Amino acid sequence: MVMITLGLLYIVAIGRPSTVQEIQKPASVDLDVLLIRSAEYCRKLESVIFYFVCLEEIEEIVDPTLEVLNPLDTVDNWRWVPPGHAFSAQIMPLRKIRLSYVYDYQCIRANRAIRETRTLLEENGKKKSVPNATLQTSVVVYGNALLAPVSLFGERYQATFNYRIVDKSKIEGRPMLVIEAKPKQGGGKKNNLYGSAWVDPMTGDIWKIAWNESGVGNYDIFEKRGKRFMRRPRLTITTEFTAEKNGIRFPSRLFVEEAYVNDLGRALVRSITKIVYKEFKFFSVEVETR
């Protein structure tokens, strides 16, 4: 079992997928003002209290090909052919494993701590009723992704990043600025959490984050797996925040692609995980004042 953690934060998803429409040029806007607005939004995030229930739907596709191949068949450049193998020999993919789960999910945040419970309703298309169920997916664990924007735009973190506007786009018809945040040299740990965020320029709300793979916690697990496969790991991780209540944006969708690349640039995708949360019922969403 592998758990991807974003720094000290776990990856999570809540809501429906969004459609992102790209536009050509970055917006002309004062970056300093945008960072002030984002920092204020993050202050609210850190003080939020909420209680909701929803459906959590998980789809996972796992390709076991790299797990079962003989080491002679996993040479990293595919140019050397072992004796007895035809020159045209290629890696033959195995049947992919498809997994799906549906949970009734309850999440409460109070006193700056998160408590969650799950009831498994469906597993691989079969009805279930398992209270206090554990999360079955092998890649992702739910936790504090609601607070993930704080690690990029929180006021106390901004001094450790270099920011720049790299593009502009739209999510659900709303104009967005794409802000790249990169750690400054000597600004902290090797695996600092960072990436690019889609930010509402009027409010500073964060609607989407594309995480840099080297900033993902436990990345060494994937590096070790890559050495076993004689390939380099390549992770694609995005979180969307389209669910909203009382000015707070909740994570809405998670996408994780785990691939391994040989030295010719050929990639084999080991797993794809998608998580969507829907049918929210909010019982409270408020911000503490201290």
Please write the tens of the pLDDT for every residue from 175-205: 999 999 999 886 554 445 689 999 999 999 9
Q: Which residue has the tokens 């909420």?
A: 50
User: Picking from 12-21, 39-48, 158-167, 201-210, which range would have the lowest pLDDT averaged per residue?
Assistant: 12-21
Is residue 92 a part of any domain in this protein?
no
Are 61 and 268 within 8 A, CB to CB? no
Is residue 267 a part of any domain in this protein?
yes
- For residue 225, the enclosing domain spans 5-79+98-285
- What local confidence, expressed as pLDDT, does residue 65 receive? 83
Neighbours of 4 (CB within 10 A): 23
Bridge partners, 180 (sequence order):
164, 196
- What local confidence, expressed as pLDDT, does residue 194 receive? 85
Q: For residue 119, what is the domain's CATH number?
A: 2.50.20
- What local confidence, expressed as pLDDT, does residue 264 receive? 87
Q: How far apart are CA 176 and CA 41, in angstroms?
A: 15
Is residue 93 a part of any domain in this protein?
no
Radius of gyration over every alpha carbon of the chain, rounded to an integer in angstroms: 21
Q: How many domains does the chain have?
A: 1
Is residue 87 a part of any domain in this protein?
no
Q: How far apart are CA 250 and CA 52, in angstroms?
A: 11
Tell me the per-residue pLDDT of 247-281, one tens digit each, with 9 for 90 and over. 999 988 989 899 999 888 888 899 999 999 899 99
Task: pLDDT band for 60, please (50, 70, 90 cuts).
Answer: very high
Are 200 and 208 within 8 A, CB to CB? no
